[in-house]
Amino acid sequence: FFQKTLTAVKNWFTLFGWSKGQNPISVPYSLRRDVCKVQVTSSQEKVFKQNLGKDTKTVYDMLFHLSGQLLPGITSSQSLPLDPVERMLQLHWQHSTLLAFLKSQGACLSHVMPEFLLEPDDYKKWIKVQSELKVRDVKNSDMFSSKHLFILEDSIFETMSKRAWTDVLLQVYKVFVLPRVSSCNITDLFSLESVQNMPRIKSEPLSSNIYSPYERTILTWLNKHYEKNRKTVWKDCQKGEVPPMRWIVNFDRDLLDGLVLAAQLAAYCPYLVATHFVRMYTNPRTPEQFLHNCLILVNAMHAVSLAIDIKV
């Protein structure tokens, strides 16, 4: 499940997370590596600036594209110190600033520590520096200034870093992309007689500790189109009867059989019903039947050129 989530996140941000077209990313490797457009390097004891080029895109460029804001104290052409320890400390500060900025926008990232966003070598430097500070604090009897250190092995750190960067991207999507979903007409979604008796999904901010108001707006939209179209789309279905009414309350289990998403697509592309959707199982029970439905849905998306790199 986590790997599928990671793939979906990587594909979306590759396609839509940047200005001027696509920018392939790898999580966490390219995000950790491309943190600055200008790096300070050393060659034969001489100090010079190595320009990584205008085409190099950093996570800060992505945030500016999606939010229209630059992080406080971080410029678009950030440079790093020559000294490895100072460089690591600045990167740690930049990641701390990034997390603080996202949290101020409503992101849930209390479990992500700035050091998890560092390169593995920088993470080791961070642990070494913090361990030395801890020893010094103990010698000075300052037992309350030392923070608990998570000292991770290399393989565990890579797993943690991948998870941390994935969660950062998911929260970026939540706070900067999902709010673009309009909720001004949410009261009209249940105006049809066929859906008036369905349970309502409340849009108030505090009515759910799982989904944001924008995610609940999408759930409302899914319920509306499924209930409106299920009898029309599958009235002549070849593999069962008209699917029953259902209450769609999540984005995983309720979408597994492909029927809900097919109903949404049929609402905007009704010509796909006769060519694709009538061949779906309306009450799938086996993994093969679920796969059959999803293959038809993917083929329908490709038929209308929804180039989102969807794979089964």
Sign of the alpha-carbon dihedral angle for 277, 278, 283, 287: negative
Count up the domains in the chain and report the number.
Answer: 2
- Output phi, psi for 273, to 5 deg: -65, -50
Query: For residues 186, 188, 191 and 194, what is the CA-based torsion angle, rounded to 10 degrees?
Result: -50
In the chain, the amino acid numbered 29 is Y
Asked if residue 298 is part of any domain, the answer here is: yes
Q: Are residues 164 and 196 in the same domain?
A: no
Q: Is residue 237 part of a domain?
A: yes
* pLDDT at site 241: 85
pLDDT at 142: 52
d(CA 216, CA 192): 19
Q: Are residues 275 and 156 in the same domain?
A: no
Query: Could you give the CA distance from residue 304 to residue 143 in angstroms, rounded to a whole number?
Result: 64
Residues 173 and 189 occupy one common structural domain: no
Q: Which of 297, 18, 6 is nearest to 162 (CA)?
A: 6
Q: Which pTM does this prediction carry?
A: 0.64
Whether 187 and 218 share a structural domain: yes
- In this predicted structure, what is the pLDDT of residue 144? 46
- 97 CB neighbour count, 10 Å cutoff: 16
Q: What is the DSSP string of the chain?
A: -HHHHHHHHHHHHHHHSSSSS-----TTHHHHH-S-SEEEEEETTEEEEEE--TT---HHHHHHHHHS-PPTT--TT----SSHHHHHHHHHHHHHHHHHHHHHTT---TT--GGGGS-HHHHHHHHHHHHHHHHHHHHTT-TTSPPPP----HHHHHHHHHHHHHHHHHHHHHHHTGGGS--TTGGGGG-SGGGTTSPP---STTS-SSS-HHHHHHHHHHHHHHHHHHHHHTTT-SBSSPPPP-----SSGGGTTSHHHHHHHHHH-TTHHHHTGGGSBSS--SHHHHHHHHHHHHHHHHHTT--S----
Containing domain of residue 135, as a range?
1-39+51-180
The CA distance from 228 to 194, in Å, is 7
Which pLDDT value is given to residue 48? 35
**Domain-ending residue, one of 118, 147, 180:** 180
Whether residues 109 and 209 fall in one domain: no
Residue at 35 is within a domain = yes
Q: Is the peptide bond before 28 cis (omega within 30 degrees of 0)?
A: yes
- What pLDDT was estimated at residue 54? 53
Contact 37, 60 (CB under 8 A): no
pLDDT computed for residue 40 by the predictor: 47
- In tens digits, what is the pLDDT along the chain, a chain of 312 residues? 888 899 999 999 999 999 888 899 999 999 988 876 555 444 443 333 444 455 678 898 899 999 988 888 887 666 778 888 998 999 999 999 999 999 999 898 989 999 999 999 999 999 999 888 877 765 665 544 445 677 889 899 999 999 999 999 999 999 999 888 665 555 555 555 455 556 566 666 555 667 877 788 888 889 888 988 988 999 888 777 889 888 888 888 899 999 999 999 999 899 999 999 999 999 999 999 999 999 999 999 988 887 666 665
Point out the domain boundary residue: 180, 213, 246.
180
Residue 158 within any structural domain of the chain: yes
User: Same domain, yes or no, for 163 and 235?
Assistant: no
Last residue of a domain, one of 164, 180, 196: 180
- pLDDT tens digits, one per residue of 294-311: 999 999 998 888 766 666
25 in the same domain as 114: yes
Q: Within this chain, do residues 67 and 197 fall inside the same structural domain, yes or no?
A: no
Cβ-based neighbour number of residue 267 at 10 Å: 16
